[in-house]
Structure 1
Amino acid sequence: MKHILKRLIKIVLLIALVFALGVGAIAFFAWQRYDGFADAPMTGIEAGETLVVEPGDSLPKVLRTLAAQGVEVDALHWRLLAKSTGAAGKIQVGEYALEPGMTPRTLLERMRDGKVLSYRFTIVEGWNIRDLRAALAKATPLKQTTADMDDAALMRALGRGGEHPEGRFLPETYLYTRSDTDLDVLKRAATAMDKAVAEAWAGRDEGLPLRTPYELQTLASIVEKETGIASERPQIAGVFVRRLKVPMRLETDPTVIYGMGSSYAGNIRKADLRTDTPYNTYTRDGLPPTPIAMPGRDALQATAKPAPGDALFFVAVGDGSGRHVFTRTYGEHQAAVAQYLQRYRQQQAQAQ
């Protein structure tokens, strides 16, 4: 009897051992398969594809979206990996890049950390508000919310009711995501301009003929439009600052062009210089009522700290370099203008 009992015990132990080995083997192979899944490139992804996680999307919904885009999905493995990476219940809303060779672990970690795909929008130095709004309307996939707003309504939507929109947005490159709106970008640009103007004003030279930060911003917009090459900004600012001190009229063509609005056809005539508008600095003293463009940081700083000197005039060299000739007297200026016109006629003759 004892012999039979011992034999039964051995059989039971053997069966248990075989079962344990079988379970272990199954677990081992399952783990190998899972581990291989977590760090293996996902199938079915092509360059340029993205995954959009909408508000309220759960992991199963995200997996269905991936499957619909051609990615092979094992829901159990994805759920286990989400738990092990801490992504379970923490997937953030947004658009995520799907790159060939990307692994499930990488994608889940990005969704856990909210590393969403971002896009760039650049405001160019010297743009006016029409340029800015036209470019912003073409930015994709930015959500467009301001197309039906006039400039006054736009400024109210930005919390800046009553402010003139010109010159209010700092030329820089701004990042945005698919969930952002055009107003979001403009708010950041307006805040950045406020800060840049405040910094320039705080560091300005003593004795500038400018009473407010807004006047500095207005003059900087003229400097921006008159600048052919960046290194000349402080010199051009110096000319205008000295003219304001004399006082002399600024007599700068970009302000006239701005005042002409849509009637400007690419050429400014003597009659235009004599036609009075609030922005015609040939017919009116001092600064125009508002900026005429978006001044960049360098133009603001140059206006706050203009180059010293005695020049009151400048004219383009006319050699295509964007450089200017700076002169002290009207006679010197007339001679420089004559040289410019001579070069211009020579270029026209060669072109013909």
Structure 2
Amino acid sequence: MTHNPIRPWRNIERRRSRQIFVGNVPVGGDAPISVQTMTNTDTRDVAATVAQVQACAEAGADIVRVSTPDEASTRALREIVRESPVPIVADIHFHYRRAIEAAEAGAACLRINPGNIGSEERVREVIAAARDHGCAIRIGVNAGSLEKHLLEKYGEPCPEAMVESALEHIRILEEHGFRDYKVSVKASDVFLAAAAYQALAEATDAPLHLGITEAGGLLSGTVKSAIGLGSLLWAGIGDTIRVSLSADPVEEVRVGYEILKALGLRHRGVNIISCPSCARQGFDVIATVAELERRLAHVKTPMTLSIIGCVVNGPGEALMTDIGFTGGGAGHGMVYLAGRQSHKMSNAEMIDHIVELVEKRAAEIEAETKQAAE
């Protein structure tokens, strides 16, 4: 366990949803909130797609979605599924046959958009294929592709239209006795997405997949996603998330975990608490943190590290972290372990020393966890 304690005022009461499985990953109920992403390779290029899936899995992705726009893609999907270390979701648009082919290829979940998939009869065929091959289904409602009759009814994309679309599709699945589904109601507008999810959370007990779709580039998309997803997660809504960025999918995974870590909902890797730096700093905080983030990216064990440039807040922050370093004077600073002063260390040797301390503490935590489980 980390040194940072859980406080009652930090707790989030999660909405109780029923649980489904996407492959071997539980979604909903009391399962951890899963982090998803999506490949941006040509799915027909099996080697490139598998390499990206593996990179995302190494970064912590629990589930990876792969686009299957044509028959060649669903043929390639069989090998991708076989080589993937995590469950694969097949992204289906427009042609219901791709969903059936993806189920036959071993996809763990089929993502279908009610506005694009076609008639109820086609949806029925997709349900039959999912049931026959043990697939879950994600009902993926998107503000940009709502059904024509809903746009005519409401005049524009709105929370009511998005929720009605989701509930219509839920009805079809439920009428066919299919309950292994999760639902999303995504929009690029943060307010629209949040309102739709809030209404949907009250209307169904299905697990919800959160996302602010087409959020933008790495910076702007991270900010929009943090606001939209963060507000919903803080309210206890959400069982799985995807941060949609015009960036490397690995970055989506990293941002997803940072959002969950900030809310205390899931912990993976080193949570670095650092100051923005100022004239009081005893060392180059910005460069130090960047280097530590790079060199500690391989550490998966949850722990906290404070890197503070001076003694104004440094000792106080170190009290709440596993390891801390506070800048001082004369080219050295103070190292804290488990909130207590431990020893001085020169700024020149500080990065190597902290990496060594973090790796040592991570090994200790893993050993303690393993011993407790035996």
Higher helix fraction (1 or 2): 1
Larger Rg over CA atoms: 1
The answer to whether the superposition gives a TM-score over 0.5 is no
Higher strand fraction (1 or 2): 2
**Structure 2-normalised TM-score?**
0.21
